[in-house]
Amino acid sequence: MTTARRLIARLRDLHAKGAAPLSEIVRLVAAEMVAEVCSIYVQRPGDILELAATEGLNPLAVGRTRLRVGEGIVGLCAATAAVMNLPDAQNHPAFAYRPETGEEPFASMVAVPVRRSGRILGVLVVQNRAPRHYVEGEVEELETVAMLLAEALPAAGATDGAPEGLAATVPRVFSGTTLMGGIAVGPVVLHGTHPLGVKLLADDPAAELVRLHEAAERMQRGLDELIAGVPQAGRGVDAAASREVLEAYRLVATDAGWLRRVSDAVRSGLTAEAAVQRVAGELHGHMRRIGDAYLRERLADMEDLAGRLLNTLIGGSPRPEIPPGAILLARRLGPAELLDWHAGGIAGVAIEEASPAGHAAILARALGIPSIGGTRGMLDTAESGDEAVIDADDGQLVLRPEAEVRQAYVRALETRNAQNAGWAALRERPATTADGVPLKLMLNVGLNLELEQLDRTRADGIGLFRTEIAMLARGSIADIAEQAANYARVLDAAGDRPVLFRTLDLGADKLLPGTATEEENPAMGWRSLRIGLDRPALLRRQLRALLLAAAGRPLSVMFPMVATVGEFRAAKGLLEAEARRVRPSPERLSIGTMLEVPALMWQLPDLLKEADFISVGSNDLMQFMFAVDRGTPSLYGRYDVLSQPMLDLLEQLVVAGRAANVPISLCGEAASRPLEAMVLAGIGFTSLSMPAGGLLPVKALLAEVDLSAFRPVLTAIRRGTRDAASLRDPIVTWARERGLPV
């Protein structure tokens, strides 16, 4: 029997006789680990870690030795949720000396966090006199013991470090970041606050492996069914965004690496459930230490997968009964979980750890769920059944609102619903401003099943067709015939309306075989056209498929992530070479570029001579313009598309395009927000492309705007606030004074 199995078996025997005292646990762990010291620190209110039991240190220090979270090695372990494995602990810069413990003779130390539901309950410590680095197997054994302690420490008075809450009747307001605008009023349901009690030690590891792999297969089938049902999964679904997120999620789910680690844990003697929990805990600790905010947000995806696999193993339900119009509060939330909750009827979501670029946020926008992120502390005071209001427009969660406040939000929600019904009448009207300026409002889509949105919204065309989405959905790059058939269906559905096909935008977080690389910053690495130019056969196959799909009809193709005119010329040359080989030729071949990299602005004269059209990718342009990762919550809101630098750049582009007779359009989130759309029209954009859910609200606002009156106001605002980080406030004030629906 391995040390881990023997240790867990003896701990299980202790618990079988009743609640095992912590003193017995440390004595047993020290003996089995051949450690001279084993100690348990328990979290107390006020972020205090108290020595609760020890074998090897001065017993009089129990109950007396205290460290704050973040103080000393033990406090640092609790603050970072990271294992501290130190051969010479006393010379570590974080070491905090406590003379009453008598720990001077002990050099080496390993400190392991004890967590439950993502919260720290305490720290398990082992020490020895000889300087040594504890091997991986020893650390894993201690992490297994920490899992058992997570069930024992609450009985010893451990808290999870949360501040002592106010009375359950006191209203609380939590500020956050808007993920998806809107209002929701309803009872609270809590996500992931109660851990699953599981058996730790496997009686038959071989049988547990069979259970694990059968459960993983059932989970994968369930994910396939979930993804297949996305188009019908709620109101106003932007299937392109949701499919893109879910396919990235499914790629993680099918990665054999994390399942292999779970299998290894089962072979060490754990049950399948306990193995999933342990590997999830290890990944949790690792990913929270990653500096890249986008990659750190994948933690929610991994917790989603672990929870889904656990529920499959135990045959449990992934969520409780949901009352009508409920508001979900979560610490983190994965995309598949959000789909589950949405199917259950939630009306709004607040997530403590989420940013607008995270998967849950993208899916919330696709599903039209009012959502906010960054509302830290809400789970410490909320209880299931509490009344709550999500005001996602202002980024607020109101917990237990006063009756008058709740009623005011109910009235606002009723007014908004009536307004939404009124927008439906706009579908048949052309997109024009109040003073008769014609505009083109087009859609961003990525799958054939979204094409019905063209008629549902009466859009003027498809301003961005994401060709990579269908390939992510199938998990591989389709052959020429399959691609051509897919693109032909898009052109058939559009009829005489324009379609702008974007070539494969792979890399970064959208990975297929042959496109994955190890990069510190994949968003600015080997992706999009860079892959196409380095793998010209891949790009040429797609270009040939597009030409075959056109079959004599007009064809518009644009290339993403272009940084130099030379790159554009090279890509254009590949397309023109393929066009000479394909018959019948397109009636008209238009070749354009996305403008996402600011460097192109200093190459405009040459670019405008080469490109038939330019489409601004506002999301990436903002990211590269201000050197701000879209996945960094702390920077969200600091930089605004309605800022002087962005408006100067965009206006310069529009003016240059008009002079060269090259059409300039904009696609991205900025186009789907009515206020931003009004400003973009004010500086000269006449073509905007957006998700389907944004088209009618944008059309409604623009129909009420007199651009001839707004343009001089916008000019005055820009001249009078040159140093402002954003021009949003004065523009909003002007619009609201005129009763415009911003």
Cα–Cα distance, 131 to 138 (Å, whole number): 15
Q: Which residues pair with 172 in a beta bridge?
A: 399
581: its two tokens? 């080989």
Selection from 322, 329, 325, 366 nearest residue 344 by Cα: 322
What confidence score (pLDDT) does residue 236 get? 39
Question: Which ranges in 460-564 belong to alpha helices (H)?
Answer: 468-474, 480-494, 529-534, 536-550
124: its two tokens? 């398990």
What confidence score (pLDDT) does residue 632 get? 58
What confidence score (pLDDT) does residue 678 get? 97
Q: What number of other Cβ atoms are within 10 A of residue 329's Cβ? A: 29
Q: What number of other Cβ atoms are within 10 A of residue 611's Cβ? A: 27
Question: Which ranges in 582-668 belong to alpha helices (H)?
Answer: 604-610, 618-625, 644-660
Low-confidence ranges of the chain (pLDDT < 50): 1, 161-168, 193-195, 231-241, 291-295, 318, 508-519
What confidence score (pLDDT) does residue 245 get? 57
Coil/strand/helix, residue 573: helix
Q: Are strands 687-690 and 84-86 parallel, antiparallel or unpaired?
A: unpaired
Cα–Cα distance, 104 to 84 (Å, whole number): 18
The DSSP result for 122-176, as a single string, is: EEEEEEESS--PPPHHHHHHHHHHHHHHHHHGGGGT---SPPPPPPTTS-EEEE-
What confidence score (pLDDT) does residue 13 get? 67
Selection from 497, 518, 500 nearest residue 560 by Cα: 500
Selection from 520, 524, 528, 690 nearest residue 598 by Cα: 524
What confidence score (pLDDT) does residue 15 get? 59
249 with 301: CB under 8 angstroms?
Answer: yes
Selection from 305, 295, 282 nearest residue 115 by Cα: 282
51: its two tokens? 């020595």
The DSSP result for 261-284, as a single string, is: HHHHHHHTTB-HHHHHHHHHHHHH
56 with 102: CB under 8 angstroms?
Answer: no
What confidence score (pLDDT) does residue 157 get? 66
The one-letter amino acid code at 193 reads: T
Helix (H) or strand (E) holding 614: strand 613-617
Cα–Cα distance, 141 to 268 (Å, whole number): 10
238 with 365: CB under 8 angstroms?
Answer: yes
Cα–Cα distance, 170 to 235 (Å, whole number): 34
The full set of domains in the chain, from first to last, is 3-156 (3.30.450.40), 172-419 (3.50.30.10), 429-737 (3.20.20.60)
The owner of tokens 């190459």 is 603
Cα–Cα distance, 213 to 260 (Å, whole number): 10
Please confirm whether the linkage preceding 584 is cis (ω < 30° from 0): yes
Cα–Cα distance, 245 to 233 (Å, whole number): 15
